[in-house]
Amino acid sequence: MSVATTKTSALDLHVHRFVPATRPGRPPLLLLHGTGGDETDLIGLGQSLAPGAALLSPRGNVLEGRAPRFFRRLAEGVLDQDDVRRRAADLAMFVGAAREKYGIAAPVALGFSNGANIAAALLQLHPGVLSGAVLLRAMVPLDPAPAATGLAGTPVLIVAGDADPIMPPGDPEKLAATLTAAGADVTLRTVPAGHGLGRADLALAAQFLARLG
């Protein structure tokens, strides 16, 4: 595992770690942690779900207290829409710089909670940056949703918990419909869980990623 150091300004937008691929042909993963995580948080998960894939893992650069996040929120479940847009633009630039630096293809996002939300915003606001996404416990990040296009055939897995106390009712279905309307190939699954992840989530994510290569 290498800790990235570079003079490229777009890469400096996020402290991050990069793990080179050991299995050529697997799509790289963009690992996006939940609130309070960091650039190390999902490395083990990425290695478990997609063995041999290159891993790009940025740290969210917004602090809520001492907890890193990818964008600000105004209250529990109330997202700062302007900040979502700004941070999604920064993340898109970061991914582009990382692809050039490390010689990787467009990544598949693997995001949990806050990380899943910024990945969903990235899909809607900057189509083409991601080649796919696994969105674990994602809520609708932009309301109203932008009239996104350019996601034709982009594979997206959304996994919701049926007892998630954080998730606004109907958000997973609304997000799935929005991404489908933009052309994405969306699979929505609901598992018996709260906001935390369990074996069912990991099994669904592993199966989805295996189909991508």
Q: Which residue among the candidates 113, 126, 171, 201 is catalytic per the annotation? A: 113
Strand partners of residue 189: 159
Give yes or no: 16 in active site. Answer: no
Whether the CB-CB separation of 145 and 124 falls below 8 Å is answered with yes
Contact partners, residue 111, CB within 8 Å, separation at least 6: 30, 31, 32, 117, 118, 119, 120, 133, 134, 135, 136, 138
Give yes or no: 164 in active site. Answer: yes
- What is the 8-class DSSP label of residue 172? H
* Joined tokens for residue 81: 């829409």
126 phi/psi in degrees, rounded to 5: -135, 60
- Give me the half-sphere count of Cα atoms (radius 13 Å) on the Cβ side of residue 192: 0
Q: Which residue among the candidates 41, 164, 171, 201 is catalytic per the annotation? A: 164
Give yes or no: 195 in active site. Answer: yes
Q: Which positions are annotated as active-site residues?
A: 113, 164, 195
